[in-house]
Structures are given as C-alpha cells and as structure tokens.
C-alpha cells in the first residue's frame, strides 16, 4: 500500500523537481524548466524552513510529495509567504463601466481589463503538481491541504490574506487564446517566451511593455473573451478544492493566460478552521474508518500524511508506529489533525 507524505524540499531534490517541471507542461509559470531557477527555488525553500528568509514575510516554502516505501517523488506544492514585496505582482482586474446617453436613449455596461498591482503582502499558494500515476486516492487533497496546515503550524510566517492563481486555458501546443488576443499585441512575442521570462526575471519587462490603460473586453477576439477567468482543464479539480476551502473569484485574472485568481482570509480557510492541535501517542489503531490528515508543528521538520488514528479526547490521539515513523516523530510530539466531516 502506498504511503505518501509531504515534506520540506531538500537541495538533493533537484533532479526530481526538474522532472516535475518538465512534466507540468506549458503555462505552469511557477515551475519553469530552468536549472538555475529550480536550484534557486530549492535554496530559498531550505532557508524558509530554517526560518532564515531573505526578509520579513519573504519565505518561499516548497514541499515535495514522497512515497515513503519506495522513496519516489510523486509531486510538489508551494507557499510564498508574501508576494509583491520585492517584485510587482501584476494582474488584470475586470471592472464594469456604465455607458449612457440621454440624447440617444442608450444605457449599457461594458467590461474592461485594468492592470493592477494591489496584492502586496498576500500569501500565495501554488505550484501544485502531481505525476499522473499518483493522482486520485487523496493525493491531491494531501498536497493542497498541507499548505494550509503549514500556515497553521507557523502563522507568524504568513500574511492575513491568501490567494491562488490557476493556469488559464492553454492548448496542447502551448498556445493561449487570451495571450494571442491581448498580450501578443503589446509584447510581440510568443506566449511560451513571455511565460518563461515571467518566471526567470524580476518582471521589469511587464512594467515596460504592458498597456497602461483599460482594455475593453468587447474589442477582443471571441476566442480571447471566452477564456477570461477560465482555468485549464487540468486545474478544474484544484479550483474546486480551493472553493471548498473558502476561496472566491473576485474578477481578477492572470495577465498572460487570463486564468482566474481566487482569494480569502487566511483564518477562514476551512482546513485551518477545522483542524485542531493535538499530542501524539503510539499504539494500535482501527483502520476500518476513514483516515485523517496528520501534520507536525515543527517548521524545519514539517510533514503531513493521511493516517488512521484513535482519539483519546480533545487533545491526544494515537497513531501507529508506521505513521509516527513516516512523520519522523515520537510519542509526546505535538501537531495538528484534520478530520474530514461526514458530508
């Protein structure tokens, strides 16, 4: 039986992370196929989990999903403690403009895209990717919810507001209908080239070339209009999980592929609200019932897994020795448990 655990990334995860970057495909901006950037991501994550970020709220936490029995890497996810603090974080906000004329008796509204940089200090969750052979069976939830349990373990490291960007509609050939209708007109480059520069530069080229005035949606080609605020087919499951957690679409989209951005207050995130602090004990557990998410509370040794448990009251739970070993903890350690409600 496969036993999956989320753990902090290590410098020796380089080859595995490069493989995940290659498998993720076009449009996955947060994990480009770039050796220097991947090495930097791993170094930054090591500093973040050691509480040595480059500055206040600048930790970049990267977690790897590992098959405990085989040692194989199954996927990854990440949390940026604070965005927009070092480099701008650009988006399009969709605004509705009311047009009216009494002279010709016309009143109607039109949507426009307005470039914005208004999310300074938000925490961003993202970079969630799983290999196909590990998808299903709770792996997606493990990766997604581990990010919120990380925030619960060290709340002072993160912002009060949390957002997530989802990859927009991109064809198998790597073309974005939104980019073709909007971005190409201002950048004069292919989507994949712009996507790459977004991941490996400080974003100055966006400030230099992006339009400074509203773009009327009705003037865009139909193919571009139709995908505004829509996520890639591979991201539909992730969007549903985000909505289940309490994230909402606030009419903000990505400047490159038009994918949706969703956000919420950190303390309103369902996993954080419904999880509780506990002390772990070793013992026998009944594995006939549904498992729960179990996480440790030590940032440098943070780990999360699905496990069966026995409840000894509100603050103590029993775990099997196998689970304790997977989490690299012993009896008496503290952590959190999230039990999925019966719905």
Distance CA 260, CA 2 (A): 33
What percent of the chain is predicted at pLDDT more than 90? 73
* Local confidence band at 207 (pLDDT 50, 70, 90 cut-offs): confident
pLDDT for res 27:
62
- Whether 104 maps to a domain, the answer reads no
What's the domain range around 283? Answer: 275-343
The CATH number linked to 335 is: 2.40.40.20
pLDDT tens, residue by residue, 137-191: 899 999 999 999 999 999 999 999 999 999 899 988 888 999 999 999 999 998 8
User: What pLDDT sits at residue 34?
Assistant: 84
Query: Are 244 and 293 within one domain?
Result: no
Catalytic residue among 69, 197, 232, 333: 232
Q: Look at residue 109 and tell me if it is in a domain.
A: no
pLDDT confidence of 267, banded at 50, 70, 90? very high
pLDDT band at 1 (very low <50, low <70, confident <90, very high): low
User: Following DSSP, what letter does each residue of 144-165 receive, concatenated?
Assistant: HHHHHHHHHH-GGGS-SEEEEE
Let me know whether 150 and 46 are in one domain: yes
Arithmetic mean of pLDDT over the chain: 92
Integer Cα distance of 94 and 229 in angstroms: 9
Q: Are 236 and 243 in contact (CB under 8 A)?
A: no
205 and 295 together in one domain: no
Same domain assignment for residues 269 and 307: no
In three-state secondary structure terms, 8 is: strand
The total domain count for the chain is 2
pLDDT at site 115: 93
Task: From 274, 290, 308, give the residue that closes a domain.
Answer: 274
* pLDDT given for residue 287 in this prediction: 84
Specify whether 69 is located in the same domain as 204.
Answer: yes
| Residue-wise pLDDT tens digits, 116-145 | 999 999 999 999 999 999 988 899 999 999
C-alpha closest to that of 126 among 16, 235, 272? 235
Whether residue 194 contacts residue 179, with contact meaning beta carbons closer than 8 Å, is answered with yes
In terms of domains, do 145 and 291 share one? no
Q: Output the DSSP codes for 222-279.
A: HHHHHTTTPBPGGGHHHHHHHHHHT-EEEEEE-TTT--EEEEEEGGG-HHHHH-EEEE
Q: Is the pLDDT of residue 26 over 70?
A: no
Q: What is the pLDDT of residue 342?
A: 65
Residue 107 in any domain: the answer is no
Shared domain for 145 and 260, answered yes or no, is: yes
197 and 281 inside one domain: no
| The token pair that represents 19 in the structure block | 């493989």
Helix axes 236-245, 139-153, angle to 10 degrees: 40
Give which of 114, 147, 62, 151 is closest to 255, Cα–Cα: 114
How much of the chain, in percent, has pLDDT values that exceed 70? 98
Asked if the model's pLDDT at residue 16 lies above 90, the reply is yes
**Helix/strand/coil for 211:** coil
User: Is 232 an active-site residue?
Assistant: yes
Weakest-pLDDT range from 15-29, 74-88, 290-304, 327-341: 15-29
> 144 and 121, same structural domain?
yes
**Mean pLDDT, range 285-313, rounded to an integer:** 92
């Amino acid at each position: 039986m496969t036993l999956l655990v989320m753990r902090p990334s290590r410098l020796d995860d380089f080859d595995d992370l490069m493989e995940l970057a290659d498998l993720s495909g076009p449009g996955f901006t947060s994990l480009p196929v770039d050796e220097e950037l991947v090495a930097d991501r791993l170094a930054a994550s090591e500093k973040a989990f050691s509480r040595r970020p480059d500055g206040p709220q600048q930790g970049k936490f990267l977690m790897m999903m590992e098959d405990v029995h085989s040692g194989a890497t199954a996927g990854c996810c990440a949390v940026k403690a604070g965005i927009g603090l070092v480099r701008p974080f650009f988006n399009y906000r969709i605004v509705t403009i009311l047009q009216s004329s009494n002279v010709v008796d016309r009143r109607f509204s039109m949507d426009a895209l307005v470039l914005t940089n208004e999310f300074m200090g938000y925490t961003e969750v993202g970079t969630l990717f799983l290999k196909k052979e590990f998808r299903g069976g709770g792996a997606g939830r493990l990766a997604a919810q581990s990010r919120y349990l990380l925030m619960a373990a060290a709340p002072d490291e993160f912002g009060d507001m949390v957002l997530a960007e989802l990859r927009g509609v991109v064809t198998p050939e790597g073309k974005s209908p939104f980019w073709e209708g909007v971005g190409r007109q201002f950048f004069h480059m292919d989507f994949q080239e712009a996507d790459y520069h977004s991941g490996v530069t400080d974003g100055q080229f966006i400030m230099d070339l992006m339009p400074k005035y509203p773009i009327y949606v009705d003037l865009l080609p139909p193919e571009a209009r139709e995908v505004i605020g829509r996520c890639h087919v591979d991201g539909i499951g992730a969007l549903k999980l985000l909505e289940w957690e309490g994230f909402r679409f606030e009419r903000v989209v990505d400047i490159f592929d038009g994918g949706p951005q969703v956000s919420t207050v950190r303390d309103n995130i369902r996993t954080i609200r419904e999880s509780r602090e506990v002390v772990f004990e070793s013992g026998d557990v009944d594995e006939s019932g549904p498992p729960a998410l179990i996480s440790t509370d030590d940032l440098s040794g943070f780990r999360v897994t699905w496990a069966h448990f026995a409840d000894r009251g509100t603050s103590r739970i029993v775990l099997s020795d196998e689970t304790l070993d997977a989490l690299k903890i012993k009896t008496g350690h503290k952590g959190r448990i999230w039990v999925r409600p019966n719905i």
